[in-house]
Amino acid sequence: MPSWPIAEITKLLEPSLAHMGYSIYAIEQSGQSGRTLRIAIDKPEGFISLDDCERVSQVAGPLLDQANLIPQSYTLEVSSPGAERQLRDRAEYERFLGHRVNIRYRVGEFEVVLEGMLTSVDEDGISVTGHKGQVSDLPWDDLMTGRLVASL
């Protein structure tokens, strides 16, 4: 499977998508024979709709075709980061303050998983309130991964 220039594709698409009010959450080459380009988009407020994906697809497809960064035929998929998206930086934790999260963190040599409500974010770390109301203050250095939890 030939590898596509993901960094160049990102650099090509970012300005147009930013002008439309979107950011690129992730871009990856996938699918059978590696012929699918998946673009996960995000926006500062709210969640990504089907209309958002269609709008971005209508702009990204022609830009990619014109730039000829992917010489063979490919399938373009535009999606949201998902209901249980990974939280990658402080800004994303701040954005989802008050949402249910699943956090994996270190305690000494051990890994612990905590699920609850993200109740604060500051320069020291985050606080998560568990199901019994217990608040856990977790320093940034101890966090391994965090993601949103889809609510029913």
pLDDT band at 1 (very low <50, low <70, confident <90, very high): low
Helix axes 6-20, 50-67, angle to 10 degrees: 130
151 has a pLDDT exceeding 80: no
At 25-68, the pLDDT tens digits run 999 999 878 899 999 999 988 789 999 999 999 999 999 999 99
At 90-108, the pLDDT tens digits run 999 999 999 999 999 999 9
C-beta of residue 69 within 8 angstroms of C-beta of residue 4: yes
pTM here is: 0.81
* For the chain, percent of residues with pLDDT exceeding 90: 86
Distance from C-alpha of 22 to C-alpha of 14, rounded to nearest angstrom: 9
Distance from C-alpha of 113 to C-alpha of 131, rounded to nearest angstrom: 13
